């Protein structure tokens, strides 16, 4: 079975299991979100915010980027921050780094000269 098909099947199984454990959860989530935390983390696949915090759906408002950067000239993170604070009224903002971050490592190395999107992003935001 190919990966996308497996992920879709696992999502369906997760939804069914979650609904069986808490039949009202999806109805409550459809009414809107009220997370208390904005979690700004790395987009590294090894560090999923909900998994490493054992959070349930609706607890975290998550923004992920390479090296979990927060820069005033990054419209994406600033939009998430503004929305979280002004609209969602989150109480806490966590910027979470992790060990062996490839984005942080890349930002500390000299530019590769290949003008990659990641190099350009890191150069602009560090």
46 belongs to the catalytic site: yes
Set 74, 96, 98, 119: catalytic member: 98
Which residues, in sequence order, are CB contacts of 47 under 8 Å at separation 6+? 41, 96, 98
**3-state secondary structure at position 48:** coil
119 belongs to the catalytic site: no
101 belongs to the catalytic site: yes
98 belongs to the catalytic site: yes
Set 74, 96, 101, 125: catalytic member: 101
Which residues, in sequence order, are CB contacts of 83 under 8 Å at separation 6+? 61
Q: How does 68-101 read in b/e, with b if 16+ C-beta sit within 10 Å?
A: bbbeeebeebeebbeebeeebebeeeeeeeeeeb
Distance, CA of 33 to CA of 38 (rounded, Å)? 12
44 belongs to the catalytic site: yes
Set 6, 27, 36, 46: catalytic member: 46
Active site residues: 42, 44, 46, 98, 101
């Amino acid at each position: 079975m190919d990966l996308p098909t497996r992920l879709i099947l696992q999502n369906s199984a997760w939804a069914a299991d979650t609904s069986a454990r808490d039949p009202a959860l999806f109805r409550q989530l459809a009414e809107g979100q009220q997370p208390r935390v904005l979690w700004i983390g790395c987009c590294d696949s090894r560090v999923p915010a909900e998994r490493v915090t054992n959070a349930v759906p609706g607890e975290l408002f998550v923004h992920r980027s390479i090296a979990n950067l927060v820069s005033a000239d990054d419209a994406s993170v600033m939009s998430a921050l503004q929305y979280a604070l002004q609209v969602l009224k989150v109480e806490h903002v966590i910027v979470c780094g992790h060990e062996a971050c490839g984005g942080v490592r890349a930002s500390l190395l000299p530019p590769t000269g290949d003008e990659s999107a990641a190099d350009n992003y890191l150069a602009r935001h560090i």
